[in-house]
A and B are shown apart, each in its own frame.
Chain A
Amino acid sequence: MWPWTPVPQDGDVNYVNSVSTLCPGGCGISVRKVDDRAVKIEGMKGYPGSDGKACVHCLSGLQALYGPTAVASPLKRVGERGEGKWRRISWDDAVSEIASKLDELREKGRPQTLACITGSDRGTVPELFKRFLKVYGSPNFMRAPGFEDTYEIVLKLMQGVDAAIGFDLENADYLLSFGSGILDGWGSSVRMFQARTAWNDNKAVVVQVEPRLSNSAACADRWIPIEVGTEGILALGIAHVIIKENLYKKDFVEKYSFGFEDWVGKDGKKHDGFKTMVLKHYAPNAVARLTRVDPDVVVETARAFAKAKSPLAICGRGRGDTPSPLHEFMAVHALNALVGGIHRKGGVWAVPLPDYVNWPEPKLDAAAEKGLAALRTDGAGTDRYPLAKYLPTRLAEVVNTAQDIPVEVLFVSGANPCYTLPDTQAVKAAFSRIPLIVSFASNMDDTAMMADLILPNHGHLERYEDVPAPAGMNTPMIGLCRPVVSPRRDTRHTGDVLLMLAKSLGGAVADAFPWESYQACLEQTLGKNWQPLLDNGFIRNTAYRPPAWQDAFRTPSGKFAFMSDACANDGKAVPAVAIEGKPEEYPLTLIPYDSMRLAAGPAVSSPFAIKTVDDTVLKGTDIFVEVNTKTGGKCGLEEGVFAHLSTPKGTVKVRVHLSDGIIPDVVAMPRGLGHAEFDEYVGGKGINVNELIGPVEDPVTGLNAAWGIRANLTIA
């Protein structure tokens, strides 16, 4: 035909099932192959949650496999940090370079200066990282932030359990979402889409509380626009009405809960209970003033919620990639408890954490013991932040302000902190101070660009890996990511690289990793589950039911705790977490928004996904911010004009998209753009909203609670 247009080779067709790890939801996929080439990704029928479907990002996963961002071999930085100049290096050289640095740190008695950030803390690969850090002697293992951070603390405080949050979404008949982007990527995105079909069939009611008419809000039965950041206050307002009108489930509240009524503590002091606190401070009129939600709407919503058969309230803004204020989550969880929705059909479940990785405790040498005794660099688990497990958002500040650099070597795997953490500039400044950054990315990303060494993992369609239950799944399960094609480049499985590293370090470190390969480790770890996993692509305990109320709670009282000592606040009203910036200087508020078409987690959007983005979001390399039509008019801004958007973190040039689907005085910027220029299809387009928003510490947990930042928008 035309010699310059490719004619794809024909061949034998076959399908390989796997799990896509591109999105945190973990879509089950079925890949169509022609001979050895993968040509199309489709959903895998029967896979828990996604069942035959897949999200935009997993559907275009072949572009990550075959695209120009795939890292072809180990790379060593030759230019400045972030400049993208690399030299090929052999695996042996790369590993021995890291090993000698690690040896040196141990000799200096500072093994705790090795830190690690991973995308998840579950499954064999994160567990191998944890184990490596432990035997090496560092307590500084961190998981990238997400709404699970806050939910884990909520379950600990209110139910006394170490568990993952699970939602029996499909069986809910009234869903009250406090800003969760149920159709914008929250939780396991495709499961949410499928759940929506179930809600349609069951005539369930979906109410979306959010300042902006997101797709979730547009598709809900009702959109309740709310003042930014006040979702938790509305939840307590709704609780007020439920309690005042006696609509709560008395059998649960009276028999299985503590802290609802006033109580006298061990010290003999009387404490206000949840009921007193809520009745005192959260009357609909008071709530209306703060939230801009009409008092009648508060009352109406409370009644409908309480009277539904299986009401369910959820929270975690947008995609849920950011933790939120603890009190907001506790308020929403309390709302579920008021209607008896804990461990009930269609309610919230505490799901046991995966327990299939049961390796014998490693023997620690003296150097490791000493290193592990050090406090965590991010402060998690210390007296100041006793509740948090990981606080990677604090890392930048700690590293930037320390005299003596607290992180000498940083491993990054399955995470993209230079893009996803708030205050990107500060994060990059911190990373520039770290002497050795090792990225295990298989595709170039913002963090790999800042690394000294890239040790590329096999691509997501080239490797075996166990994929534990995604966020919000209410039954324990494991999926299997397996090679669809054999590795095409000089890459190695990150698990194998860790084994190599351990071997080079020798001694107790090497002894802790007795497996000859990652594959052997995976198969032995899964034991009798391995064959079923290979056969079906997943295993799932569908029979799992959460324990009954009398056995469910491990709090000091043995009951569900409406109030907790950790944050009792002694019956005072809890204000919304304040955001950065003075209102006089910055009259507006900037909030990020999520949509399915832009990936904003560790994975970067594909060229196909970028193609689906509207030209009122991105035009050329210019990003659009969304502003209420009236607010825009007040600032003298017309549709499409250029404007300067400033926040306490900096000023950028943006274009304006006027919308009637957003509360006045708010500027919304899409999350997922503004990547480093590692390619020409996705990189260098628009602005990363995290550059403009810094972290705000939750007063109780230390997790990032920033839901926005004060901002100004002036014509350019």
Chain B
Amino acid sequence: MNKSRGQSQPKKYGMVIDLDKCTGCGSCMVACMAENNVPFKKDETNKRDSITWMKVYRLTNGKPFPDHDICYLPRPCMHCEGHNGHSPCVSVCPATATDYSNETGIVSQIYTRCFGCRYCMAACPYHARYFNWWDPVWPAGMEEMLSPDVSVRMRGIVEKCSFCFHRYQRAMDKAHLEGRRDLEEAEYQTSCTQACPVGAITFGDLNNPEHKVHQLVKPDNAHSGRPQAPNAFRLLERLGTNPKVYYLSDREWVRRAGDNYLKGEGTIGAKH
């Protein structure tokens, strides 16, 4: 972080997703694809090569009829901080194509630097990174809808959710033009947050006590951002990835699905 630029306080942009509100409608996925020039193929049913920066997983409680229950879990990039910015993917990238920003807390992905070794994909415990096995092809005429704000990716490189970083840049440009150094909470929101029709996704600065994300999960920065709010949890908390995407659920089985618990082991994030 460069203090001389006048950033008063380092930001830690993060997301809180209320799984009890999510209905699995898919608006976040589509809003993300449309915002970020995500390509599509004729067959997208092989989910291992289907690029979805935001992917909604379907979880079940595994109980037989009629006690069965479903929960949808939207999974963007977790923008892990690890310890001092050592996110799993950043640590292994030999090309510095991906980096952790101490200014925003966003894990970047610089397409022109990536040479496709895919170490980052192996390192990411959340399957949030995707490899371009082919050059993207748009059917005739459909290139028209591509946004100039996000580079189109090419074959042989890795891509992932950027927390709509171009929206941050856009908002900062505007703020600077108006002589401001800081953004209002509403000025920078990701496309998925904006699109969610039930308001299940909240986005903002986890370091800012006035932002909703902070209030919802009360991150404990002394302990790698661990949530202190009841019912809040992160995926694979105990791996130490220190992700910036938090989840909320009243349901114990949902919270337990967030990590590999042993039988009889207590759930992290249970009501204190």
Which residue numbers of A lie inside 8 Å of B, CB to CB?
A: 1-2, 4-11, 32, 34, 37-43, 50, 52-56, 59-60, 62-63, 65-68, 70, 183, 190, 193-194, 196-197, 200, 213, 215, 218-219, 223, 225, 596-597, 606-615, 618-620, 628-630, 659-664, 679-681
Known contacts being A4-B154, A56-B26, A611-B33, is A34 close to B148, with CB within 8 Å?
A: yes
**B135 at interface by CB-CB < 8 Å:** yes
Q: Is the CB of B142 within 8 A of A63?
A: yes
Closest A residue to B42 by beta carbon equals A680
* A611 CB, min distance to chain B CBs, angstroms: 4
**B31 at interface by CB-CB < 8 Å:** yes
Q: How far, in whole Å, are A196 and B65 apart by their CA atoms in the complex? A: 25
* A247 CB, min distance to chain B CBs, angstroms: 27
Q: Is the CB of A223 within 8 A of B66?
A: yes
Q: How far, in whole Å, are A271 and B56 apart by their CA atoms in the complex? A: 56
Q: Is the CB of B139 within 8 A of A67?
A: yes
> Which of A37, A52, A197, A609 meets B145, CB within 8 Å?
A37
**B177 at interface by CB-CB < 8 Å:** no
Q: How far, in whole Å, are A193 and B195 apart by their CA atoms in the complex? A: 12
Chain A residues lying within 8 Å of B43, measured Cβ to Cβ, are 620
Q: Which residues of B54-77 are within 8 A (CB) of A?
A: 56, 58, 60, 62-66, 68-72
Chain B residues lying within 8 Å of A664, measured Cβ to Cβ, are 65
Known contacts being A63-B142, A597-B26, A607-B40, is A620 close to B66, with CB within 8 Å?
A: no
Q: Is the CB of B34 within 8 A of A5?
A: no
Q: Is the CB of B63 within 8 A of A660?
A: yes
Q: Is the CB of A608 within 8 A of B33?
A: yes
Chain B residues lying within 8 Å of A618, measured Cβ to Cβ, are 45
> Which of A39, A43, A611 meets B147, CB within 8 Å?
A39
**B37 at interface by CB-CB < 8 Å:** yes
Closest A residue to B63 by beta carbon equals A660
Q: How far, in whole Å, are A6 and B152 apart by their CA atoms in the complex? A: 7
Q: How far, in whole Å, are A223 and B69 apart by their CA atoms in the complex? A: 10
* B29 CB, min distance to chain A CBs, angstroms: 5
Chain B residues lying within 8 Å of A1, measured Cβ to Cβ, are 112, 151, 154
Chain A residues lying within 8 Å of B196, measured Cβ to Cβ, are 53
Q: Could you list 11 examples of A-B contacts with CB < 8 Å?
A: A1-B151, A40-B191, A43-B197, A54-B27, A596-B24, A608-B33, A612-B52, A612-B56, A619-B45, A659-B68, A661-B60
Q: How far, in whole Å, are A277 and B240 apart by their CA atoms in the complex? A: 65
Q: Is the CB of B145 within 8 A of A218?
A: no
Q: Is the CB of B29 within 8 A of A612?
A: yes
**B140 at interface by CB-CB < 8 Å:** yes
* B111 CB, min distance to chain A CBs, angstroms: 9
Closest B residue to A609 by beta carbon equals B30
Chain B residues lying within 8 Å of A63, measured Cβ to Cβ, are 142, 145
Q: Is the CB of B24 within 8 A of A215?
A: yes
Known contacts being A53-B27, A67-B139, is A39 close to B146, with CB within 8 Å?
A: yes
Q: Is the CB of A8 within 8 A of B147?
A: yes
Q: Is the CB of A193 within 8 A of B23?
A: yes
Q: Is the CB of B198 within 8 A of A197?
A: yes
* B46 CB, min distance to chain A CBs, angstroms: 8
Known contacts being A40-B34, A213-B70, is A5 close to B141, with CB within 8 Å?
A: no
Q: How far, in whole Å, are A43 and B65 apart by their CA atoms in the complex? A: 38
Known contacts being A59-B27, A59-B30, A67-B141, is A611 close to B152, with CB within 8 Å?
A: no
**B25 at interface by CB-CB < 8 Å:** yes
Q: Which residues of B137-181 are within 8 A (CB) of A?
A: 138-148, 151-154
Task: Please provide the 8 A-B residue pairs with the shortest distance between their CB atoms, ordered closest to farther.
Answer: A193-B197, A8-B146, A612-B26, A596-B25, A218-B70, A660-B68, A53-B197, A10-B148
> Which of B65, B153, B197 meets A55, CB within 8 Å?
B197
Q: Is the CB of B135 within 8 A of A59?
A: no
Which residue numbers of B lie inside 8 Å of A, CB to CB?
A: 21, 23-27, 29-31, 33-35, 37, 40, 42-47, 50, 52, 56, 58, 60, 62-66, 68-72, 112, 135-136, 138-148, 151-154, 191, 194-199
* A7 CB, min distance to chain B CBs, angstroms: 7
Chain A residues lying within 8 Å of B147, measured Cβ to Cβ, are 8, 32, 34, 39-40
Q: Is the CB of B23 within 8 A of A67?
A: no
Q: How far, in whole Å, are A216 and B146 apart by their CA atoms in the complex? A: 34
Chain B residues lying within 8 Å of A620, measured Cβ to Cβ, are 43, 45
Q: Is the CB of A11 within 8 A of B50?
A: no
Known contacts being A34-B148, A615-B45, is A196 close to B68, with CB within 8 Å?
A: no
Q: Is the CB of A40 within 8 A of B45?
A: no
Q: How far, in whole Å, are A218 and B197 apart by their CA atoms in the complex? A: 17
Q: Is the CB of A660 within 8 A of B50?
A: no
Q: Is the CB of B68 within 8 A of A661?
A: yes
Q: Is the CB of A66 within 8 A of B142?
A: yes
> Which of A596, A614, A662 meets B23, CB within 8 Å?
A596
Chain B residues lying within 8 Å of A38, measured Cβ to Cβ, are 144-145
Q: Is the CB of B65 within 8 A of A225?
A: yes
Q: Is the CB of B27 within 8 A of A56?
A: yes
> Which of B52, B145, B152, B199 meets A62, CB within 8 Å?
B145
Closest B residue to A32 by beta carbon equals B147
* A50 CB, min distance to chain B CBs, angstroms: 8
Q: How far, in whole Å, are A607 and B199 apart by their CA atoms in the complex? A: 25
Q: Is the CB of B21 within 8 A of A200?
A: yes
Q: Is the CB of B65 within 8 A of A661?
A: yes
Closest B residue to A52 by beta carbon equals B194
Q: How far, in whole Å, are A183 and B196 apart by their CA atoms in the complex? A: 13
* A680 CB, min distance to chain B CBs, angstroms: 4
* B127 CB, min distance to chain A CBs, angstroms: 14
Closest B residue to A53 by beta carbon equals B197
> Which of A596, A612, A619, A660 meets B60, CB within 8 Å?
A660
Closest B residue to A59 by beta carbon equals B30
* A629 CB, min distance to chain B CBs, angstroms: 7
Q: How far, in whole Å, are A461 and B157 apart by their CA atoms in the complex? A: 34
Q: How far, in whole Å, are A1 and B27 apart by their CA atoms in the complex? A: 32
Q: Is the CB of A193 within 8 A of B198?
A: yes
Closest B residue to A1 by beta carbon equals B112
Closest B residue to A613 by beta carbon equals B45
Chain B residues lying within 8 Å of A597, measured Cβ to Cβ, are 25-26
> Which of A59, A62, A610, A680 meets B195, CB within 8 Å?
A59
* A623 CB, min distance to chain B CBs, angstroms: 11
* A308 CB, min distance to chain B CBs, angstroms: 21
Q: Is the CB of A218 within 8 A of B25?
A: no
Q: Is the CB of A183 within 8 A of B25?
A: yes
Q: Is the CB of B65 within 8 A of A660?
A: yes
Q: How far, in whole Å, are A247 and B168 apart by their CA atoms in the complex? A: 56
Q: Is the CB of A608 within 8 A of B30?
A: yes
Closest B residue to A41 by beta carbon equals B34
Chain A residues lying within 8 Å of B143, measured Cβ to Cβ, are 6, 8
* A684 CB, min distance to chain B CBs, angstroms: 10
* B32 CB, min distance to chain A CBs, angstroms: 10
> Which of A5, A10, A67, A215 meets B154, CB within 8 Å?
A5
* A429 CB, min distance to chain B CBs, angstroms: 30
Q: Is the CB of B154 within 8 A of A2?
A: yes
> Which of B31, B148, B153, B199 meets A59, CB within 8 Å?
B31
Q: Is the CB of A68 within 8 A of B139?
A: yes
Chain A residues lying within 8 Å of B21, measured Cβ to Cβ, are 196-197, 200
Q: Is the CB of B26 within 8 A of A54?
A: no
Closest A residue to B69 by beta carbon equals A218
* B239 CB, min distance to chain A CBs, angstroms: 26
Q: How far, in whole Å, are A233 and B89 apart by their CA atoms in the complex? A: 57
Q: Is the CB of A9 within 8 A of B148?
A: yes
* B190 CB, min distance to chain A CBs, angstroms: 12
Closest A residue to B66 by beta carbon equals A225
Closest B residue to A662 by beta carbon equals B65
Given contacts A8-B148, A596-B25, 17 further A-B contacts (CB under 8 A): A5-B135, A5-B136, A6-B152, A11-B148, A32-B147, A41-B34, A42-B195, A52-B194, A66-B144, A215-B25, A215-B72, A596-B27, A606-B30, A609-B26, A619-B45, A663-B66, A681-B40
Chain A residues lying within 8 Å of B30, measured Cβ to Cβ, are 56, 59-60, 606, 608-609, 612
Chain B residues lying within 8 Å of A661, measured Cβ to Cβ, are 60, 65, 68, 70
Chain B residues lying within 8 Å of A197, measured Cβ to Cβ, are 21, 198-199
